[in-house]
Amino acid sequence: MARTLAARLAWTAFELVAVATVTFVLAYLLPGDPARTIAGPHASPATIAAVRRQLGLNLPLWVQFGRYLWRLAHLNLGTSIEYGTPVLADIWARFPATAELALAGIVFEVAIGVPFGVFAAMHRGRWFDRVSTAVEFMGISVPPFWLGIVLIFLVAFKLRWLPIGGDGSPVFPYLVLPGLTLGLGGAAYYAQVLRARVLEVLSQPFVRVAQAKGLTMGQVVLRHVLPNVTTTLVTQIGMDLGYFMAGVVVVEAVFGWPGIGMQAWTAIQALDEPLILGTTLFGAFWIIVANLVVDIAYQFLDPRARSG
């Protein structure tokens, strides 16, 4: 267990450095000049050159990258060009909103996807199974931005049941529509995956033995099937939670949700290179941490993983 954890931590550090490298190069290749953006459209060449020297953009690429890694080692993500504030402070200020949205998306995914998947497997081949399968394919295929716009138009604008967007106090009414938009696609995928996994478990000999002892299908599912699909569910939740924590740009942009995804979108528009790098690396950190947590959880949930 300790050896596995040490190996995963070492691999996590390597992944973070790799993400930092790729992100830095891609940001360097972005069209546009951050120095000109800061100096303004009517700035003189001398002013732009002075800004470039101040930001260190006149240095060779490998020197800029070395400085960037040194700052990362000290948890310094730089200073935002657009706002003039520390990038890490800006990210932490937006993080609670993204965390709320991520948890709401997970809740909708589990609350909708798990019952649909299990019930469809229990009624394989019947009308509910066929209808749910068609609905699941639609849920996976619908783009989140389109779904969000439709929900805003129908629920918020026409019916006036919920706010159109943004955030407020209490947060729950403002969180329902973006959380539902985020969770419906995942719920459809959860239902498909769990249906297949439940059918696989139901075909095992121990299930037939349990039924021969007089257990009903519901008892079999609760006592024998659900414990065997826990690892699959934990894997999906862990991956989705890491992805959501990274900031879902499309959903946050559609609903004006003040999270990390919205911050990344505005940073790209403003060519704010430190903020782009910071939000990307912060998002990658959460995805990598989610993978690590899932691997550790496997050690406790599945004895075969421990023996391996």
**What single DSSP character describes residue 86?**
B
Q: Range with the lowest mean pLDDT among 30-44, 171-185, 201-215?
A: 30-44
- The answer to whether domain 95-270 has CATH 3.40.50.620 is no
21: confidence class by pLDDT, cuts 50, 70, 90: confident
* Pick from 19, 1, 51, 35: nearest CA to 289: 19
Q: Cα-atom radius of gyration of the chain, to the nearest Å? A: 24
Compute the average pLDDT of residues 284-299: 77
Percent of the chain predicted with pLDDT > 90: 1
Give the tokens for residue 103: 């948890």
pLDDT band for position 143 (cuts 50, 70, 90): confident
C-beta separation of 191 from 113 below 8 A: yes
Q: Look at 118-132, 173-187, 202-216, 256-270 and tell me which has the smallest mean pLDDT.
A: 202-216
Supply the pLDDT for residue 304: 57
What do you get for the CA distance between the two ends of the chain, in Å?
10
Percent of the chain with pLDDT over 70: 90
Whole-number pLDDT of residue 201:
79
The per-residue pLDDT for 223 is 73
Angle between helix 61-73 and helix 2-29 axes, rounded to 10 deg: 140
In this predicted structure, what is the pLDDT of residue 245? 79
The angle at the Cα of 50, spanning 46 to 53, to the nearest 5 degrees, equals 140
pTM of the model: 0.76
Q: Which residue has the higher pLDDT, 278 or 202?
A: 278
Domain ranges of the chain: 95-270
pLDDT value for 173? 85
Predicted pLDDT at 306: 53
- At residue 134's C-alpha, the angle toward residues 129 and 225, to 5°, is 35
Query: Alpha carbon 4 to chain centroid distance?
Result: 25
Instruction: Calculate mean pLDDT across residues 260-272.
Output: 82
pLDDT at 104 exceeding the cut of 70: yes
CA dist., res. 123 & res. 131, Å (int): 11
CA dist 250 → 187, 193, 203, 212, 253 (Å): 18, 25, 40, 51, 5
Lowest mean pLDDT across 8-22, 27-41, 284-298: 27-41
Q: Is 155 helix (H, G, I), strand (E, B) or coil?
A: helix
Both tokens assigned to 11? 């691999």
What average pLDDT does this structure show over 147-152?
87
Structure tokens of 106? 């997970």
In the predicted model, what is the mean pLDDT of the chain?
79
Round to whole Å and give the CA distance between 49 and 47: 5
On whether the CB atoms of residues 113 and 187 are closer than 8 A, the answer is yes
- Chain centre distance of CA 120: 27
The first and second tokens of residue 85, run together, are: 């504030």
Contact by Cβ (8 Å): 188, 278: no
CA proximity to 233, closest of 269, 262, 196: 196
Check the CA dihedral 130-134-139-141 and report its sign: positive
Q: Which parts of the chain fold into alpha helices (H)?
A: 2-29, 34-39, 45-55, 61-73, 87-122, 127-141, 144-151, 172-202, 205-212, 217-220, 226-228, 230-245, 249-255, 260-269, 273-301, 303-307
pLDDT at 196 over 70: yes
Residue in the block written with tokens 């953009």? 57
Residue 194 pLDDT class (50, 70, 90 cuts): confident
Q: Report yes or no: 221 and 198 within 8 Å, Cβ to Cβ.
A: yes
Nearest to 38 by CA among 80, 96, 91: 80
Please compute the mean of the pLDDT values over residues 176-184 and round it to a whole number: 88
Q: Residue 121: what pLDDT?
A: 81
Structure confidence by residue, pLDDT tens digits, 33-92: 667 666 666 777 777 778 777 767 777 778 888 888 888 888 888 788 777 788 888 888
pLDDT of residue 242: 79
